[in-house]
């Protein structure tokens, strides 16, 4: 897809702050540092629109990006930081639960994992949470440039099996370094719009 415009429209913590346009929306989740911001930036051809590696302790917000005036990407704060306090974790959980259970525009969740390693316990919990709410899921296995091409299928198989990926869900390979997978992923997203 040709991205002609992309802007952050709002950082929201509660539903009355979500944008009201009835356009398709995709929520992006992933462990901190997995490469979620890099994924967003690469998909929309921007070097630095999505902030990379935001530290814990900062306000945790849902960041809405408007793309081509046609869809939203919603950047969900990363999980899996060891140092996050109980109350911060609870606030994060409540915010994303509210979002995932109430957002009508939401077409699919995009879960970013690291192709190099099996999904972590937190990744598996996140996937199970999304499935609990019966959301279609697209799993993006990123950092593919760090693995030789000949091993991609083997790593994808480990990803699929560790998550216990449902038949209806998609697993896509990606690299924000090389752009590998980008057009295929846009092609897939179009099917959900």
What's the closest the beta carbon of residue 133 comes to ligand GDP, in angstroms? Answer: 22
Q: Rank residues 60 and 142 by Cβ distance to ligand GDP and give the closer one.
A: 142
In degrees and rounded to multiples of 5, residue 27 shows phi and psi of: -100, 135
Tokens of 84: 């996050």
Q: Rank residues 21 and 122 by Cβ distance to ligand GDP and give the closer one.
A: 122
What's the closest the beta carbon of residue 174 comes to ligand GDP, in angstroms? Answer: 7
Beta bridge partners of 63: 11, 75
Give the C-alpha separation, 117 to 124, whole Å: 13
Taking Cα atoms as reference points, which of 93, 94, 128, 99 lies closest to residue 111? 128
Give the C-alpha separation, 150 to 34, whole Å: 22
What is the three-class DSSP state of 37? helix
Tokens of 93: 């959980």
Q: Rank residues 140 and 165 by Cβ distance to ligand GDP and give the closer one.
A: 140
Q: Rank residues 107 and 182 by Cβ distance to ligand GDP and give the closer one.
A: 182
Q: Which residues bind ligand GDP (CB under 6 A)?
A: 30, 32-38, 52-53, 78, 142-143, 145-146, 175-177
**Measuring CA to CA, how many Å separate 58 from each of 44, 107, 184?**
25, 28, 34
What's the closest the beta carbon of residue 167 comes to ligand GDP, in angstroms? Answer: 27
Q: Rank residues 76 and 95 by Cβ distance to ligand GDP and give the closer one.
A: 76
What's the closest the beta carbon of residue 78 comes to ligand GDP, in angstroms? Answer: 5
């Amino acid at each position: 897809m040709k991205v002609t415009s992309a802007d952050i429209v709002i950082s929201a913590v509660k539903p009355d702050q979500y944008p009201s346009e009835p356009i398709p929306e995709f929520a992006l989740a992933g462990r901190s540092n997995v490469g979620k911001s890099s994924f967003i930036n690469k998909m929309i051809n921007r070097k630095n629109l999505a902030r990379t590696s935001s530290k814990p302790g900062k306000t945790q917000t849902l960041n809405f990006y408007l793309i081509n005036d046609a869809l939203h990407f919603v950047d969900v704060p990363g999980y899996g930081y060891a140092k996050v306090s109980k109350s911060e974790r609870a606030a994060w959980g409540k915010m994303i639960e509210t979002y995932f259970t109430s957002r009508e525009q939401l077409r699919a969740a995009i879960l970013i994992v690291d192709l190099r390693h099996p999904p972590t316990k937190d990744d598996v919990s996140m996937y199970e949470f999304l499935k609990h709410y019966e959301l279609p899921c697209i799993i993006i296995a990123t950092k593919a440039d760090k693995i030789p091409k000949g091993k991609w299928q083997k790593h994808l198989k480990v990803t699929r099996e560790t998550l216990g990926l449902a038949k209806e869900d998609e697993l896509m390979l990606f690299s924000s370094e090389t752009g590998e997978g980008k057009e295929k992923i846009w092609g897939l997203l179009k099917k959900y719009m």
